[in-house]
Amino acid sequence: MRIGLDVGSTTLKCVVVDDNQKIIYRQYRRHLSQIAEKAADMLEEIMAELPGLASCPVCISGSAGMGLAEALDIPFTQEVYATRIAVGRLQPDFDTVIELGGEDAKILFLTGAMEVRMNGSCAGGTGAFIDQMATLLGISTDDMNELASRSGRVHSIASRCGVFAKSDIQALLNQGTTREDIAASIFYAVVNQAVAGLAQGREIKGNVLYLGGPLTFLPQLRLAFDKVLGVTGFCPENSLYYVAYGSALTPELPCLDLRKTAGKIRRYGSVSGYRQSEPLFASMEEYNSFLERHSKSKIAVDARLTPSKRAWIGIDAGSTTVKCVAINEDGEIIFSRYTANSGNPVPLVKGFLTEFYEEFPDAIVAGATSTGYGEEIIKNAFSLDMGVVETIAHFTAARAFDPEVDFIIDIGGQDIKCFKIRNGAIDNIFLNEACSSGCGSFLQSFAGALGYSPAEFAALGLFAKAPVDLGSRCTVFMNSSVKQAQKDGADLSCISAGLSISVVKNALYKVIRVARPSDLGEHIVVQGGTFMSDAVLRSFELETGRRVTRPTIAGLMGAYGAALYAKENGLLGSTILGPAELRNFKHQVRTANCGGCTNNCRLTVNIFDGGRRYISGNRCERPLTGKAPGERLNLYEYKLQLLSEYRPVPGHRGIIGIPMGLNMYEMLPFWHRFFTALGFEVRTSPESTRQTYFLGQHTIPSDTVCYPAKLIHGHICQLLESGCDAIFYPCLSYNFDEGLGDNHYNCPVVAYYPEVIANNVHALDDKKFIYDYIGIHRPRDFPKKIQAILAKYFPEIPLKEIKKAAKLAYAENDAFLAKVRAKGKEILATARSQGMPVIVLAGRPYHLDPEINHGIDELICDIGAAVISEDSVSDMVDPFPTTVLNQWTYHARMYAAAKFIVENGDPDVNLVQLVSFGCGVDAVTTDEVRSILEDGGRIYTQIKIDEITNLGAVRIRIRSLLAAVKHKKGSGENVKTAALA
Amino acid sequence: MSKQRLWPEFTAEMKKTHTILIPDMASIHFELIKNVFLNCGYKAELLTSTDQSIIDKGLKYVHNDTCFPALLVIGQIMDALHSGKYDLNRVALIMPQTGGGCRASNYIHLLRRALKADGLGHIPVISISYGIEKHSGFKLTLPLVRRGLAALVYGDILMLLSNQTRPYEVKPGESDALVQSWVERLSELMRQGEAYSRRDMAKWLDNIAASFAAIERTPRDVVKVGIVGEIYMKYSPLGNNHLEKFLASQGCEVMVPGLLGFLLYCAVNGVVNIELYGGAWLNRSIRTTAVNILLSYEDMLIKAVEKQEIFTAPWPHKKLFREGTKIIGPGCKMGEGWLLTAEMVELIHHGYRNIVCAQPFACLPNHIVGKGMIRRLRELYGANIVAIDYDPGATRVNQENRIKLMLAVAREEKDGLKVHSGRPVSI
């Protein structure tokens, strides 16, 4: 008899195998992080079930079992390898195994060159991810499966990690997408994650075996895999126990005494050996004085109407909660609601209003404002008077508690927002980038997974003796950090405290990036639902060394601010639906495709009674106004238009294909002119779409590279089908020298991505793929060098001809840039003469791609500003010293553009920096652009983009920026500020 | 570009008054290099602490998306400056700067930014570079360069041979003790003006190789594992969670390609650049001369190792270049560039077919030269390569789990699939 014990991240599995290698006993259960106890229980149950079995070989496997096995000197088998052993024994005819676990995803390729893969450290598309999504929807995973089986349409959800996916799902929910479709979309996101993260260029085909919990329990997930892979996979009997079985079959295992082993494992649970932080509270007295201090920041929450009977309503439809507040003439709260938002905020708000009218039948609603993610839909649904950007709402509320407030930090469900206030205006805004958001809801999911309410779970940590130090990175990593701490014996209270501390560290060091707490300010107001936890609040005070104000209504501040905002705007009569109208309230959701242009946006149309409508999913205003974008002041649009004019011209030398991605967004004029002049027809790959990405997904070797690079794979695949004689995608270490910096490199990805393509896109092996190293930065040497390169692929071309073509190419490049710059200046002048604000949307040339920028340029235009690009103003400043080594051509333009903003001095011309997720170079450049702007007293705004398509957060940033600019101007204050952080 | 200086210079006077703090990377090499600094009249100290507070300081002072090495190096420095051990008006810092197209050329500026944020902007940071910055108190003089080169070569041979001896030694600890005694002895010799001329070096390299060959060995069943990666992650135990030690505990013999190879790679890139894109003859011949000088040092090392049959000598750099650039273009020169791919090819050919490629999370060059080339190497040579990401959030358990998987596959390839025997039945 042999025992295999599989200690996974969320579950324990064990098997007992007899001498014929037959499973005679098996057990599967969630361990709820009490690994040692539950594992010991399991062994003891085995002894009870199989009397007479006192000692036998035992082997542990599983991601959370390694530390246990090592510390106790029990044999260990790596879990993927255990699967490999089990499959070799039980299902030798299978080619590929896909195994999803709690936090791991694995693919084993067994035939041909054997390969085994596990998900990298940044990959959440696993069982825990599905659990997290189910929690978000407020259903069980079985319900999710059930819903998915009735889905009609799959939406695209970012699949890289749970945090991104959550933003997308939230957006879909807020738009009224059906839960059926969302459930199915989540499963497809998991599949895409597995394929993108694990296949790494190897195609999944043949007989596919599905193993592990999620694939066993969720038939719809299996179906999604089948559909995406084009196979019919098989989920065998005992699909949960392959790892345990494989570890039981590990050769050369010693016999262990089971009773002693169980005892050893149980005792291991009490050993403490993880990284610790200081306790939150040393004593009950300390806690009480803390509570005492914070109870002072309060306002009435059950006040009465004043004699005027006037009331103002504020509604904050956030990502995970809906908050509603009504205030009286004195600014006191008369009625409020804080409810979890499990998808659709509309019925929640309707419920609130109904109750309010019942409770205050004689109230006269003088004004009503909505804010938050659901601002638009709520405003339309209930016919509110105005919407206000979240940041302003929070500031308005904070001022009511501390008129001198100079720093506000709000940690909500999935946002961290903080801003500095200077001279009564919002001066500096920090919103969490997509990668570290979700902190509050992370705590919530974590508590839920362990069977606690968020409040109970947080309270557990208050008096923890040795909180776990979990670091301050993205929450996806925190799952594994927690796993490690559990392995090292941290109990629940220490994990709870540790999570609260890490939320705070994330906010301070990841989002705001403070070096010293004095940078934050003197009068700090904290708010948002997450700060309702005493543990989080205490961590914040300990970490910053400041005493802060937490209004007793910390969770309601957005709504309270919105109500105050309505009041401060002097509203005396509201258009809000009255009690009668509310009774007839109807809400229908319909989907449609907008035929307005080639984008073919999928629209979600919310129809309310009385013909009020709210449409979402649109990229432009056309479906709303019925009008074309028309003459918008958008240089991004103009540049795209210019590029689209480089059409193929038939030539005698052959057809050259160019992938439209990365630097080709800038180099196309050059290469098009060059090759066309030589008599080549130049074909470009079609405009990027989400489909382009999926097309090349299976050939991407590194799942953490930036999205623009990933798209190239799809473009190459498209070119392969386009009948080109050769594909031209050269390596370029150097870019043109524009004289702006110390050097003129491309970033490593732009420079050398062709090498990745050559070595990972199999279909290129028998195709002419020109990816040589070319020096465009040396125009004099260029013709000779390129002549030799082209001669490798085509009959030699006379140097004279090449020289002529090169001359034309360089001229074309100059002309293109000149046109862009002229147009940029024209837009700048036109906009300013019309009093319109201007945003310099500073990115890289490939940020022009609408699939990469997700239409941010159009969004800015919709908000009412003009958009120009960094390269259109980078020539308007003299070279200047930077504190960093200024060595990349594209980035030098951004520094110059920032300098331009400062020197130009017009407060209505501002810079917004676009950053692709995973762009390592931008870790350097963002800090520099920020300091150039802030040293010049200007506001820095950064937008991180990836596969995400949720523009809600972007809208908030841009609106906050414009509101801050307006406020600054209004207060007549010179725009001179000190830099923060 | 405007050469206006935005940072404090390390002046000639400071040479006498200031202690230069050197962040550690490869401990054998850096101990030797520190001694070279001392011998050349500088006050210097090697920072060897590996406390958790280093990562905390790094997170606090460096943009968190910056590569992990920058975070660690700067964290280590800030940690030292805060320790109270140093007179903050009498310390200087030092950092190499290659001027290549990857973020590493900017570490020095990130450090200065951190210092400024902490009110320590007056502390001078010396850049060791090929002319990017000038410091009147620190010059790459011929004696310094010669001693420095010697230290690198000695470091390489000590690392190479101790790695090839340690797993087999009969008396545990003997190889490490020998390394230590050589570090002390060589430093002393160099202080006396010996052991860095070409002729002296040939002699001492032979002695070193002979001394390791003399260590009593016993055959052991080991898995041969090569380590490549981003340079800091590859060598620094602080960065890679004591990777070499972990592999040793799992019964592996490791090979880590030396630092001289990186220096040669940088030098060769100068020549390749001119070949690819054009450039002056004079410029090219200066660069070629530099390469040839370095090659002569490498040659001494290889000859010394080859004299002892039991040891595997590294490929000459020319061969490394030739074989590596069959896979990836020679113009790929940011970060570790083509060298990293070439080192993987070399390791595979030396029998180290199981490779850990260590990189900071989201390291840009590694998307290309590491992860981007693995598929081809696997197809061509059936190599067993695992890429491990390191960053402040990645946990050791995750990293070690992945490495264990790679080792399990390695053992199967070596010994065949081993399953507890018995009759196959259906369950």
Domain map (residue ranges) of chain A: 1-91+236-271, 310-402+560-583, 416-548, 637-816, 818-970
Chain A residues touching B277 at Cβ < 8 A: 734, 773, 775, 777-778, 781, 785
Are residue B89 and residue B228 in the same domain, yes or no?
Answer: no
Q: State percent of chain B over pLDDT 70.
A: 95
Structure tokens of B289? Answer: 């001369």
Instruction: Tell me A299's DSSP state.
Output: -
Give residue A164's pLDDT. 64
DSSP, collapsed to helix, strand or coil, labels residue A1 as: coil
Q: For residue A766, give every residue at least 6 positions away whose Cβ sits within 8 Å of its Cβ, in sequence order, or none.
A: none
Look up the CATH number of the domain holding residue B345: 3.40.50.11900
Number of structural domains (chain B) is 2
Which residue in chain A is spatially nearest to B105 when comparing CA positions?
A885
CB B405 within 8 A of CB B386: yes
Q: CA-CA distances (angstroms) from residue A218 to A104, A114, A147, A740?
A: 16, 28, 11, 56
* CA distance linking residue B122 with residue A29, whole number of Å: 60
Chain B residues touching A238 at Cβ < 8 A: 427
Q: For residue A225, give every residue at least 6 positions away whose Cβ sits within 8 Å of its Cβ, in sequence order, or none.
A: A98, A191, A194, A208, A210, A215, A231, A233
CA A179, A183, A184, A185 torsion-angle sign: positive
* CA distance linking residue B30 with residue A494, whole number of Å: 40
The β-bridge relationship of strands A96-100 and A105-109 is antiparallel
Instruction: Tell me A508's DSSP state.
Output: I
Q: CA-CA distances (angstroms) from residue A952 to A171, A413, A434, A842?
A: 8, 15, 12, 20
Give residue B423's pLDDT. 39
Last residue of a domain, one of B105, B139, B173: B139
Q: pTM for the complete prediction?
A: 0.83
Could you give phi then psi for residue A283, rounded to 5 degrees? -150, 165
* CATH number for the domain running over A818-970: 3.40.50.11900
Within a domain: B282:
no
Within a domain: B190:
no
Instruction: Tell me A199's DSSP state.
Output: I
Question: What is the CATH T-level fold of the domain A416-548, as seen in this structure?
Answer: Nucleotidyltransferase; domain 5 (3.30.420)
CB A97 within 8 A of CB A209: yes
CB contact under 8 A, B395 and A921: no
* CA distance linking residue B96 with residue B133, whole number of Å: 11
* CA distance linking residue A367 with residue A313, whole number of Å: 6
* CA distance linking residue B16 with residue B87, whole number of Å: 14
Within a domain: B284:
no
CB B43 within 8 A of CB B19: yes
Which residues face A656 on adjacent strands?
A: A682, A726
Are residue B114 and residue B227 in the same domain, yes or no?
Answer: no
Q: Which of B53, B397, B403, B423 to mutate to test the interface with A (most CBs of A within 10 A)?
A: B397
Structure tokens of A908? Answer: 């209505």
3-state helix, strand, coil in chain B (%, to 5): 55, 10, 35
Are residue B229 and residue B344 in the same domain, yes or no?
Answer: yes
* CA distance linking residue A159 with residue A35, whole number of Å: 30
Q: Which of A20, A251, A887 sits opposite B105 (nearest CB)?
A: A887
- Give start and end residues of each alpha helix (H) in A506-599: 534-544, 557-568, 579-583
Q: Which of B53, B59, B60, B103 to mutate to test the interface with A (most CBs of A within 10 A)?
A: B103
Residue A451: left if φ>0, alpha if ψ -120 to 50, beta else—which one?
A: left
Look up the CATH number of the domain holding residue B84: 3.40.50
CB B109 within 8 A of CB A883: yes
A264 near B CB under 8 A? no
CB contact under 8 A, A780 and B328: no
CA atoms within 13 A on the CB side of A240: 20
Same fold, A310-402+560-583 and A818-970: no
Within a domain: B373:
yes
The β-bridge relationship of strands A602-608 and A613-616 is antiparallel
* CA distance linking residue A122 with residue B399, whole number of Å: 12
Residue from A458, A543, A454 nearest A493 by CA: A458
Which residue in chain B is spatially nearest to A104 when comparing CA positions?
B398
Q: How many CB pairs under 8 A join A and B?
A: 284
Which amino acid, one-letter code, is at A886? N
Give residue B347's pLDDT. 97
* CA distance linking residue A759 with residue B375, whole number of Å: 7
Domain extent at residue B351: 222-258+314-415
Maximum average pLDDT range among A61-70, B49-58, B281-290, B392-401:
B281-290
Which residue in chain A is spatially nearest to B396 when comparing CA positions?
A484
Instruction: Tell me B402's DSSP state.
Output: H
* CA distance linking residue A918 with residue B362, whole number of Å: 6
Tell me chain B's radius of gyration from C-alpha atoms.
22
Last residue of a domain, one of B88, B118, B139: B139
* Extended beta strands in A238-341, E state: 255-257, 310-317, 321-327, 333-340
CA A254, A258, A261, A265 torsion-angle sign: positive
Q: CA-CA distances (angstroms) from residue A27 to A14, A16, A24, A41, A248?
A: 5, 9, 11, 11, 14
A52 near B CB under 8 A? no
Chain A residues touching B64 at Cβ < 8 A: 472-473, 509-510, 513, 923
Q: For residue A423, give every residue at least 6 positions away whose Cβ sits within 8 Å of its Cβ, in sequence order, or none.
A: A968, A971, A973
pLDDT range class, residue B159, cuts 50, 70, 90? very high
Which residue in chain A is spatially nearest to B133 when comparing CA positions?
A885
Cα dihedral value A186, A192, A193, A196, nearest 10: -170
Within a domain: B378:
yes
Within a domain: B144:
no
Last residue of a domain, one of B118, B139, B160: B139
Helix (H) or strand (E) holding A869: strand A866-869
Question: Which CATH number does the domain A310-402+560-583 belong to among 3.40.50.11030, 3.30.530.20, 3.30.420.40, 3.40.50.11060?
Answer: 3.30.420.40
CB atoms within 10 A of CB A144: 25
Residue from A568, A532, A569, A576 nearest A550 by CA: A532
Give residue A269's pLDDT. 63
Which amino acid, one-letter code, is at A246? G
Residue from A886, A902, A927 nearest A740 by CA: A886
CB contact under 8 A, B397 and A484: yes
Q: Which of B59, B378, B424 sits opposite A113 (nearest CB)?
A: B378
Question: Which CATH number does the domain A1-91+236-271 belong to among 1.10.3720.10, 3.40.1390.10, 3.30.420.40, 3.10.180.10?
Answer: 3.30.420.40
Structure tokens of A302? Answer: 């059950």
CB A639 within 8 A of CB A869: yes
**What order do you get walking across the sheet with A866-869 strand by strand?**
A866-869, A838-842, A909-916, A941-945
Instruction: Tell me A297's DSSP state.
Output: S
Within a domain: B65:
yes
Helix (H) or strand (E) holding A57: strand A55-61
Within a domain: B150:
no
CB B396 within 8 A of CB A275: no
Q: What is the mean pLDDT of residues B55-84?
A: 87
Q: CA-CA distances (angstroms) from residue B106 to A277, A749, B102, B127?
A: 32, 17, 8, 11
Q: For residue B199, give every residue at least 6 positions away whose Cβ sits within 8 Å of its Cβ, in sequence order, or none.
A: none
- Nearest-5° angle of CA B351, CA B352, CA B354? 130
Which residue in chain B is spatially nearest to A745 when comparing CA positions?
B101
Which segments of chain A have a pLDDT < 50? 122-123, 272, 434-438, 627, 972-981
pLDDT tens, residue by residue, B341-391: 999 999 999 999 999 999 988 788 889 999 999 989 988 998 999 999 888
Give residue B355's pLDDT. 96
Q: For residue A669, give every residue at least 6 positions away whose Cβ sits within 8 Å of its Cβ, in sequence order, or none.
A: A643, A646, A812, A813, A815, A816
Q: Taking 50 as the threshold, does the pLDDT of residue B1 lie above it? A: no
Residue from A705, A712, A743, A756 nearest A919 by CA: A705
To the nearest whole angstrom, how far is the Cα of B424 from the nearest Cα of chain A?
7
CB A403 within 8 A of CB A523: no
- Measure CA of the first residue to CA of the last residue in chain A; give whole Å: 63
ipTM: 0.92
To the nearest whole angstrom, how far is the Cα of B175 from the nearest Cα of chain A?
26
* CA distance linking residue B305 with residue B316, whole number of Å: 12
Residue from B314, B322, B24, B355 nearest B153 by CA: B314
Helix (H) or strand (E) holding B15: helix B14-17
To the nearest whole angstrom, how far is the Cα of A953 from the nearest Cα of chain B?
21
